[in-house]
Amino acid sequence: MKKIESVTKSATSVTIAVFISRILGLVREQVLAYFFGAGKSMDAFVVGYRIPNLLRDLFAEGALGSAFVKVFSSNLEKEGKEKSFKIAQTLISNFLIILIVVVLLGIFFADSIVSLIAPEFKKDLYKFTLTTNLTQIMMPFLLFISLASILAGMLNSFRIFFLPALSSGLFNLSFIVIGVTGYYLLVKSNMNPIYAMAVGVTLGGLFQVIFQYPIIKKKGFSFSFSPDFKNEQFKEVLRLVFPIILGLSVVQINIFINTFFATSCGEGAVSWYSYAFRIMYVPLGLFGIGLSQALLPELSRQIARKDFIMAKDTFSRALIVSLSLSIPSAIGLFMLSHPLIKVLFERGKFTFYDTLKTAGILEILSLGLPFYGISKTAVPLFYSLGKTIIPAFGSIIAVVTNITVILLTIKKLGINGVALGTSLSLVTQAFFLFFMALYKLGTFDFRFILRCFLTLIFASLGLIGILKILDIFILHYILKILFGVPLGALIFIGICKLLGPEETYMFFSKFFKIFKL
């Protein structure tokens, strides 16, 4: 119980920092929606950003980050700080070389990459050229965000979670300031102002590295370039990295696939999907990233000590904590999708029609949120066990499901079929990983699990009920949000606290204690 409290406390700390980042991320999307709407420039920016952002999850927050944390945490537990820092120097040096090569290849072959992911853009030479140029400007973002992820992983291993998570907020803030300032400068120069947003992405990634390095330096780490591709720990990271590339990055891989199909759904479809996913990414990133970052070092330490009973207990309780966050979030996003999109984006060049299309996509995407939470909780378990091939298989199943659903529905549903593919792919991945966790760890305490599920069902019904009542009696969309969110949260948490167990409301308790509410 103490371990899950520790993990939840760490996850809460991460979540608060990520919440700040996600709010700034929404402001960033509001800036884009206001200035560019869902037109040609925005479609080009979304695709151009999608390319380094996919590689970001493969190299940074997904594969490289997770593999690095696994190796660094284990060595820190067994060998101590000094030796672990020497290992970190070698790993960072090696990956610095690899990442520079990847970035240069991305810049040189940007036109070919854009042709692959968005072939429909080739029908419009200006749109294709714009997308290619934006991709080239944003490719260095991959290098900076990967280095930032490694530094964050080191800090997480020392149980420092808040500041590394807060650094992503710095990225969004930098993007907003640079993008808005550059917008007006480029308009005066008769240049497309979307280029300012691309520069904001790249410099935002650089600022994340600059922000985190002094923090890890205070722990005794000082970087010196010392590559060694024969290093055993580097080989261990590589052994872990390649399965993780599939395992942890299923969402980004599916987005890459979805972008390919979305470009055939007409102008604006790519932008609508991007705006909807950004809304869903608030709870998805908040709770999934918080728990995942806190779980991986903790589970790695428990597995290193061969304390499998404690690891199973930590995992099962973390699973409930995850669902207690993702289920009400999914319900809220589904039932408040239209007023949320209207409040956040419907101004400037973002029209009422854009709101309708984006809200419809958000409703479908929200259905997959609880299942994403399950996957985010399960994946660190398999990495800690060294069974990285299992998440890889889960990812393959998810990608196949996504493509199959899209092919079966896109002609009838259009961009909504793409969103449906995303949600159903998350469902299949979650079920696969959950049953594999049962197979690897053995039977959980099903009486505990069943009690938690029943509590979450009753709490969800209470949440749905209050939102339905408010929808009938409150007509103004802003008031629906202002009353719906706090009242819904109060009903959900209240029922969980009344019925128990503690894991169904533990996250909220930690959250309120931090602010002394």
Residue spans of alpha helices (H) in 474-515: 477-499, 506-514
pLDDT in tens, 414-455: 999 999 998 999 999 999 998 888 887 777 777 888 888 999
Domain ranges of the chain: 2-444
* Whether the predicted pLDDT of 321 surpasses 90: no
Q: At CA 126, angle to CA 122 and CA 132, rounded to 5?
A: 70
At 291 the pLDDT is 54
Q: At CA 194, angle to CA 190 and CA 199, rounded to 5?
A: 110
At 424 the pLDDT is 94
Query: What backbone phi and psi angles, to 5 degrees, belong to 386?
Result: 80, 15
pLDDT in tens, 96-108: 998 899 999 999 9
d(CA 252, CA 60): 12
Residue type for position 357: K
Q: Say if residues 176 and 24 touch (Cβ distance below 8 Å).
A: yes
At 314 the pLDDT is 73
d(CA 42, CA 40): 6
Neighbour-count burial of 235, counting CB atoms closer than 10 A to its CB (0-12 exposed, 13-18 middle, 19+ buried): exposed
* Whether the predicted pLDDT of 330 surpasses 60: yes
370: cis peptide before it, omega within 30°?
Answer: no
pLDDT band for position 366 (50/70/90)? Answer: very high
Q: Say if residues 111 and 132 touch (Cβ distance below 8 Å).
A: yes
3-state secondary structure 90-159: HHHHHHHHHHHHHHHHHHHCHHHHHHHHCHHHHHCHHHHHHHHHHHHHHCHHHHHHHHHHHHHHHHHHCC
Residue type for position 277: F
At 289 the pLDDT is 55
* Whether the predicted pLDDT of 247 surpasses 60: no
Cα 259 → chain centroid: 17
Classify the C-alpha dihedral 23-29-34-38 as positive or negative.
Answer: negative
Highest mean predicted confidence (pLDDT) among 164-173, 322-331, 357-366, 433-442: 357-366
At 341 the pLDDT is 93
pLDDT band for position 511 (50/70/90)? Answer: low
For residue 138, give every residue at least 6 positions away whose Cβ sits within 8 Å of its Cβ, in sequence order, or none. 48, 49, 51, 52, 198, 201, 202
Highest mean predicted confidence (pLDDT) among 114-123, 163-172, 212-221, 462-471: 462-471
